[in-house]
Amino acid sequence: MNADVHALAGAFALDALPPDEAAAFREHLAQCSACQDEVAELHVTAAHLGVAVAERPPPRVREAVLRAASQTRQLPPTTRVAAATERHRPRRRVWLAAAAAAVVVAAGSAGLTATLDDDGSAPVAQDPVARVVTAPDADVEVARLRGGGRLTVVASEQVGQAVVLSKRLPPVGTDEVYQLWLVDPDGEARSADVLIDAPGAANLVRSVRPGDQVAITREPAGGSEQPSMAPLAVTDPV
């Protein structure tokens, strides 16, 4: 077990731990509320981003999968070699890398549509949300709100955009909304042109600049040109 057991939360959420470490982490998880929140957040993030980029596969894909399934043994024999390979699987050292991998895996496993570059090499994601979460420099930030709830932000400086997911935001009246802001290094806020009216949905934020922070406030219905209150949460620079 890694000396910093908390750092294994991301790998655990990805089912990327060897069986012995996964079992030990489950014991730790039962007693650690911070890791419980972290694992739950990663599961929610992966699920929502998966839904955001999901597409119905063409009929030929379904036929190919069913044909392959009919010709594949469903319960291959286990071997001691396979078990040894599991035991020597490299450990995850930082949960942030695992968190980024979680959203990338979710986007890919949900049926992401992609095309090949002109040279037939790297796939290029067509969905705007997928472009952010699969970017090579995608970074994950999590911020808790005053009063409850949290934001998860996946940002890419290369793409210049971010994907924001909200969780457990306290309900607001019909005359209020949650609004997202981009705050530059000088502390100047500009509207991200996003009003969260469906907590949990993947919100795409455009025109993200290096050093920007993502903030959230509660504003009158329709949004505001400038924040009317102190932010409920502010992420680290994205």
DSSP string, 79-115: -HHHHHHHHTPPPP--HHHHHHHHHHHHHHHTT--EE
Q: Where are the domains of the chain?
A: 5-115, 137-234
In the prediction, which pLDDT does 224 show?
94
Mean pLDDT per 10-residue section of the chain, whose length is 238 residues = 71 80 87 82 65 64 72 56 39 44 44 38 59 84 88 90 88 91 94 79 88 94 93 91
- What is the pTM for the complete model shown? 0.55
Q: What distance lies between CA 90 and its chain's CA centroid?
A: 22
Give the span between the Cα atoms of 196 and 86, in whole angstroms: 43
Instruction: Judge contact between 153 and 238, C-beta under 8 A.
Output: yes
Chain centroid to CA 172: 25
Q: Which helix (H) or strand (E) holds 179?
A: strand 176-183
- Residue 180 pLDDT: 95
SS3 47: helix
Taking alpha carbons only, the member of 17, 20, 11 closest to residue 39 is 11
pLDDT at 85: 37
DSSP 8-state assignment for residue 189 = E
142, 169, 170 from 148: Cα distances, Å: 13, 6, 6
DSSP bridge partners of 172: none
Question: Could you give the CA distance from residue 25 to residue 165 in angstroms, rounded to a whole number?
Answer: 26
- In whole angstroms, what is the distance from residue 156 CA to residue 238 CA? 8
**Token pair 């063409």 in the structure block, residue:** 58
Helix (H) or strand (E) holding 161: strand 161-167
Pick the CATH number of 137-234 from 3.90.1600, 3.30.420, 2.60.40, 1.10.357: 2.60.40
What would the DSSP string read from start to end of 142-155? EEEPTTS-EEEEEE
Q: How many CB atoms lie within 10 A of CB 49?
A: 26
Q: What angle do CA 229, 190, 146 make, to 5 degrees?
A: 35
pLDDT of residue 132: 86
Task: Give the count of beta carbons closer than 10 Å to the beta carbon of residue 46.
Answer: 23
